[in-house]
Structure formats: structure tokens, C-alpha cells
Amino acid sequence: MANTIRHKRGTTEPTAGVLVTGELAINTGDGNVYTKLDDGTVSNILAKSQKLTSSVRNETGSTIEAFKAVYISGASSNKPLVSLAQANSESTSSKTFGVTMASIATGNNGEVISVGLLEKVDTSAYTAGTQLWLSPTSAGGFVTTAPTAPNHSVFIGTVTYSHANNGKVEIRIQNGYELSELHNVSITSVADKDIISYNSSTGLYENRTASALGLAPLASPTFTGTVTIPAGASISGFAPLASPALTGTPTAPTASSATNTTQIATTAYVKAQAYATLASPTFTGTPSAPTAATATNTTQVATTAYVKSNLANYAPLASPTLTGSPQAPTQSTGLDSNAIATTAFVKKNIRRPVSTFSGSFTNMGAFEENVAYHSTGDAQHLITLWYSGYFNVNGSVIMFKQSDNTQMDFNDGTGYTKPPNGNRWYAAFPNAIVFAVKNDVNDWFIFGDLISTQYPAYGTLISGPTIDTTNTVYSGYTDYYGNNVYAYTAYNTVENGWGGTTTVSTNATTGTVMSGDFTYSSGDTYNLLADGSGGYTLNFVSSGGGGGYDPYGTKVGTPYWDNSYNALYQTIADGNGGTTSIAWDGFAPYPAYGVQVSTTTYGNAGYKNDAIGTSYYVYYDYTSYADGNGGSYESWTISSGSYYPSGWAFTNYAFNTGVPNTSYYYYDEYGSTVYPWTWGYDAADGMGNTYFNAMGTPPYGEPASYYFTDNNYNYGRIYADGNNGFYFAS
């Protein structure tokens, strides 16, 4: 064994390729210490000391994926055998052992974690802080709420970082207990309606029948001896027949919807009367209301008569007939859209007609209509600038262009191709700019301005390629430390066809330097050269890379939000093996998904949709977060001091398992009443509280109860019939 300890340092987690077996590496960025094991893998020494992990074996016949809950199902090859855990039975949940740290192929060993931080897993389906429980429906999977009986409750851990690849979960396996598993409880020969009572002679809580405890049943009790009421006993717990003051949730038989007597009206009877709710009612048929005076400006319902009387002096959206001098905003010069063109816009954008023009215009191609052609015309009849043919002027061919600046060159009538409908055609030829125009009687005109210069064609090269060092793209290479290397881009300056210039992307000349220096393999310094086809080649610069350090400005990781400056910052290499931070320049790499990219804006007001798509006007605060692709998304909450408006739906429509629908009932095998659940959603009351809003029609086949055995000894559950009723099915 060597007596020398070798170690390296860097700002990222080392890979197996940079370490030899037994060599240490220190990450100066986060303080973690790593070593290379005999099997060639790199192990985080500090992380292992903070975790409780075990080596296990998979002989299930299938691969157990990473981030799956497992239980010990046996032993083999001096290792515990594991299988996927599931919360739907005692055998697959009570022995839940841990969570797989990586995929384990069948017939192979692997690692599971029972306590500590599980890293580098996909937690993108959860938000940070979400508690995970063993799933009763998906083997090895998780749910975010504790399962209820008859399923088993096994706590797995808490998500500490939500990410598709680098997610983190703090694992703390906690198995729930059944009543009979408690040390001071003795359950034997269980029978229906047994009672748990304390037995002082054994010091245990035991199950006994009511008769064994000397208790009389509530239904038809048979008393013995002389039954007396203690002196001074009160019957205040009962309601009088006359004017009773009931408390709690009293129930009564529900009358048919046509009943009109003094019988008590239950909530189900009232609902069946089909009246509209005061909050957000949904009317059917042809509802009517009083018509307000024309000048009324309140929250009173507006009838069709009211609307008609108020809109008599307004133009309809479809084909309005305007009078007087209608006004509209004047659009910017060059706009090509459906916006209204004012006289000012037309004056700025339309050339005056050519009053004198030598020679004649000759039709040389097919047109969509049989029209007349003129060398001059009256521009006041101009209604469109769309043209579907081409012309010859004094024997010179006009060079037409489409609206996207694509040049069309027609030398004769053969091979004629019309532009797509809606493309504007115009022409540039010696000493003139000419447009083809059709007036309101389908006459075609040629008009334009004489000019003294014919401009070079679009795309004529002026200069280039020019290297752009500020606009970079990912080159496909990574440096010595695993960071992406970004390359410069190139562009040409060309004519725009009308006397100006524009730029177009191009490939750099072969051999052009397209990046700064960076540390590549074995710590040597390289840069990138253009290959002439839009790609890049590695170019050796020097050995050692100046100590193996990245040059100043090399980007390390993705941008992050700095709360001290309320701005995005980027970590970069300082050129001496360390790092520093500067304001993010806006170029790749982009902030990772979920990173804050803006300060929180408070006190905004506007419309927001609730969980069922209803729009409400609310006061809210919002913050923007990165989407991982250079864009962002908004996360908002109700402003402090404000409440969600009354009726706001926090959840979508669903059955509430805790609210029985007493309008319908079934009997189980013991004669007990089983009610279906109530359909609706959790809603706000406008004062900061939440209530369950029972409304809506559950869809056909939606489960509306737990499974039970009915009075005909059929095992099944209650389902919605799609018409506000229910049915039982095995």
C-alpha cells in the first residue's frame, strides 16, 4: 500500500476519467470530497457519511428503476432481496426498507437509501416541500397525500428540490401501524360491532361485544329490574314538539319536488326546485327581467331591449356603415396588416401616379381577370395593391419581388408562376419604382415614382463574413470541467434591394478563430476554428493551460437570481482556478427551470381563472421564473390583505369523500346505511375561508363510494349515472 495521499481540486464534481483509484478530489465550490473506488465509480465521501444506505439485490425478474420504494422480500447472495413496495397490503408496505438510488437490473446488486438526502433523480412532477407517501396504486411509486384505510400509510420523505435530472428528496421512511400492532392492545376473534375497552386485570385494551360489557343496545333494549331516572336528571338534550331549536345537522325525509304542504323542506328538496343560485347563476330557456332606463349605469341586469336602446347610435362590428368623418389611429409606415389605413397612412405609403412616362407598358403574362391596362390612371379609385401578373417596360424586364423580399425574375412568358394569394408584388427597374394597381371597376393601372438610380439587387454582398463575438451558440464541445463551450457567429452585410443594407447569417471562413481559449483534455489550452460549413474544429493552443485553469470569463453553470441586487448573475472563471460573479449577459446558458428571473410585483389587478375556468377580477402579486429555454412563466398569489373572491374554485369538480349525499342511500350486508359522496369543489367564501360547494353533475361511471358488500352480498361500489343519480355495481 502506498504511503502517499494524492488529491486534486476543482469547482465541479470530478468524473472517473480524471481520478486514479484511491485518489482524492476536493470540490472547492461546495466542499465535497470524492474518491475513485475499485469498481471505477466516483464516490462522494462526505455525502455517504450523512446517509444511511444499504447494498441490496434484485431477483424480481425485471429492472427496478431509480427513485422507487422497495421492501425486503427475502435474502440471497448475502444480500437482502428487495421488491417494489405498495401501500395496498400489509405484506408489501409494513417492511418498506428504502428508495433505490439508481436502476437495479434483475440478478444484480444495487444501493437503496433509508435515511438521508437522495440526489440526481427526476422530481419535476413535484414542488419543493411536497411530502411523499407510498402509493397504494402504483408499485414503487409515490403520492402526495397520506393514503386512507384500507390502504396503508407509509411516509417516504420530503422533496427539497424540483428538477427533471438533479432533483433532491430528504428520505425518512416511517411505517404506519395497525391497531393490533400496538403493545398494549390485544385483538382476538374480531366480530362486527366489537368495542375496545380497558381490562384492568390484564392491563390491556381488548375487543369485547356489547353484551359481554353489560351494555343495552340502542335499538329495542330489554331492561331488567326497575329502571329509574336519577333525581334531578334533565331531558334538556331532547327537542320539544312545539317550536324545537335543533342543532348540528338534523335530517328529515325528502318530499317529492311537487309537494306543497307544511312538510319540512330538506336541502335536497330545495335543490330539486331548479332555482338559480344568486352567485353566478346559469339560466336556461328565455329568462326575463325589468328593462332599465336608457341612461342607467349600474349592476342591474341588462335586457335585450336595454342593449338595443343604448347601441342604436353605435356601429356593428360586421360591415358598419359610418357617417361624418370617422377617425382611427394612423399606423406606422410600412405596416402590412388588417389595421385600418387612414388618409395620413395612405399619403405616407402610396406613391403618386406617374403623369408622364415614355414608352408603354405591355402585358406579357396571364392575369386572373380580363381587364384593361393603362400607362397612367386616376389614383383616387385605388382600392388594392395586389397584382398577379408581370410586365415588360420598353423591352426591359421588370424584376418583381414578394413581400418577403424574394426576387422574382421573369424573362419571358414560359414557366410562369403566380405568387400565393395575398402577396404584394412590386417592381424595380432602371429609373422607376412601379406598382400594379386595380381600381373599383377592375381597371388595372401602373403608377409610381421616377428615380435616378437603380439599386443593386437584394442580397448583393457588401462585406463579410464578420465575426460576432457577442452572439454565441453552443458548439457541441465541453471543456475540461464539463462546461459547455460556446462559439462566435458570423454574418454578411448585403444590399436590401432599395438602397439600404441588412445583415444575413453566414458561415465563417475556414480557419477563423471562433471562440476564446478554454481548458480541454489533460488541462491543455484549446480554441475553436471554423470549418467553413457552419461547424467547428478543435485547435491546440498551448500545453498546461496556464496551470489548467479556465480563462477569465468562462461561464460556470447556469445563471442564478441574486436577492441582494434583484438581478440575474452568472458565475464565471477568474482565470486563477477560482470563480467570481458578474451580471448575466442574456446569452446562453439560460437560467434553469424554476429559477427566479424578476422581482416580485405587488398589487396588480386583473382577471384570473380559477380551477374550473371561471374568471374573477382579483388583486395579486406575481414573480417570473425561468422555463429553462430562455423564456419565463408567471407564478402569482393573492395580494396581502386581499381574499380570493366568493365562489373561487380551488379544485376541479370531484367527489368529496367526507360529505355524504343523503338524498341517496344503499344498505350493506349488516343493514347499515351507505351514502354516496357529494359532487362539487372547494371554494372561497370571499373572507379568507374555504368551504365545499356542492354543485354540478358528476360524469357517468365516476366512483362515488368505497367498496363494500351490499345487503344482497354483492361486493362493489356506488357509481354516478351521469344524471345526478347513482347506481351500485359489482
3-state secondary structure of 569: strand
Question: pLDDT (tens digit, 9 = 90+) per residue, 518-540?
Answer: 887 666 788 899 998 889 998 88
Question: pLDDT (tens digit, 9 = 90+) per residue, 653-663?
Answer: 999 999 999 98
**Exposed e or buried b for every residue in 696-717, given b needs 16+ CB within 10 A?**
eebeeebebbeebebeeeeeeb
Whether the Cβ atoms of residue 623 and residue 600 lie closer than 8 Å to each other = yes
Minimum mean pLDDT among 202-216, 276-290, 344-358, 695-709: which range?
Answer: 344-358
Question: According to the model, what pLDDT value does residue 229 have?
Answer: 65
Question: According to the model, what pLDDT value does residue 404 have?
Answer: 40
Q: Is the pLDDT of residue 352 over 70?
A: no
Question: According to the model, what pLDDT value does residue 211 have?
Answer: 73
Say which CATH class 51-178 falls into: mainly beta
Question: According to the model, what pLDDT value does residue 294 have?
Answer: 78
Q: Report angle CA 675, 145, 702 to the nearest 5 degrees.
A: 40
Residue bearing the bigger pLDDT, 328 or 616: 616
Exposed, middle or buried, 438 (CB in 10 Å: 0-12/13-18/19+)?
Answer: buried
Average of per-residue pLDDT across 287-316: 80
Residue bearing the bigger pLDDT, 50 or 419: 50
Average of per-residue pLDDT across 196-207: 83
Average of per-residue pLDDT across 435-452: 39
Question: According to the model, what pLDDT value does residue 497 have?
Answer: 57
Question: According to the model, what pLDDT value does residue 196 have?
Answer: 85
State what percent of residues in the chain have pLDDT above 70: 77
Q: Is the pLDDT of residue 598 over 80?
A: yes
Task: Say if strands 426-429 and 399-401 run parallel, antiparallel, or are unpaired.
Answer: antiparallel
State what percent of residues in the chain have pLDDT above 90: 25
Query: What is the DSSP annotation of 522-588?
Result: GG-EEEEEE-SSS-EEEEEEESTHHHHPPPTT-B-S--EEETTTTEEEEEEE-SSS-EEEEE--SPS
Question: According to the model, what pLDDT value does residue 416 have?
Answer: 30
Report the DSSP beta bridge partners of residue 407.
401
Average of per-residue pLDDT across 410-438: 35
> Model confidence at 700, in pLDDT bands (50, 70, 90)?
very high
Residue bearing the bigger pLDDT, 398 or 637: 637
Question: According to the model, what pLDDT value does residue 194 have?
Answer: 81
Question: According to the model, what pLDDT value does residue 388 have?
Answer: 30
Q: Is the pLDDT of residue 463 over 60?
A: yes
Question: According to the model, what pLDDT value does residue 355 have?
Answer: 29
Question: According to the model, what pLDDT value does residue 359 have?
Answer: 34
Question: pLDDT (tens digit, 9 = 90+) per residue, 476-534?
Answer: 888 877 788 889 999 998 876 556 678 889 999 999 999 988 887 666 788 899 998 88
Question: According to the model, what pLDDT value does residue 712 have?
Answer: 87
Average of per-residue pLDDT across 188-196: 82
Q: Where are the domains of the chain?
A: 1-49, 51-178, 343-450, 601-638, 654-729
Question: According to the model, what pLDDT value does residue 155 have?
Answer: 92
Minimum mean pLDDT among 272-286, 296-310, 403-417, 696-710: which range?
Answer: 403-417
Q: Is the pLDDT of residue 377 over 70?
A: no
> Model confidence at 682, in pLDDT bands (50, 70, 90)?
very high
Question: pLDDT (tens digit, 9 = 90+) per residue, 558-567?
Answer: 899 998 888 8
Residue bearing the bigger pLDDT, 100 or 184: 100
Average of per-residue pLDDT across 13-36: 81
Minimum mean pLDDT among 71-75, 106-110, 588-592: which range?
Answer: 588-592
Whether the Cβ atoms of residue 667 and residue 710 lie closer than 8 Å to each other = yes
Residue where the block lists cell 404506519 = 176
Average of per-residue pLDDT across 628-637: 87
Whether the Cβ atoms of residue 100 and residue 129 lie closer than 8 Å to each other = no
Q: How far is CA 125 from CA 159, 172, 421, in A?
A: 10, 20, 47
Question: According to the model, what pLDDT value does residue 6 have?
Answer: 66
> Model confidence at 366, in pLDDT bands (50, 70, 90)?
very low
Question: According to the model, what pLDDT value does residue 451 have?
Answer: 34
> For 215, which DSSP code?
P
Q: Is the pLDDT of residue 453 over 70?
A: no
Share the mean pLDDT of the chain: 77
- In 329-371, DSSP assigns E strands to 361-363
Number of Cβ within a 10 Å radius of residue 256: 8
Question: pLDDT (tens digit, 9 = 90+) per residue, 338-349?
Answer: 778 787 666 555
Q: Is the pLDDT of residue 576 over 80?
A: no
Comparing C-alpha atoms, which of 408, 528, 388 is closest to residue 458?
A: 408
Average of per-residue pLDDT across 5-11: 75
Average of per-residue pLDDT across 184-198: 82
Question: pLDDT (tens digit, 9 = 90+) per residue, 114-160?
Answer: 898 898 899 999 999 999 999 999 999 999 998 888 888 899 999 99
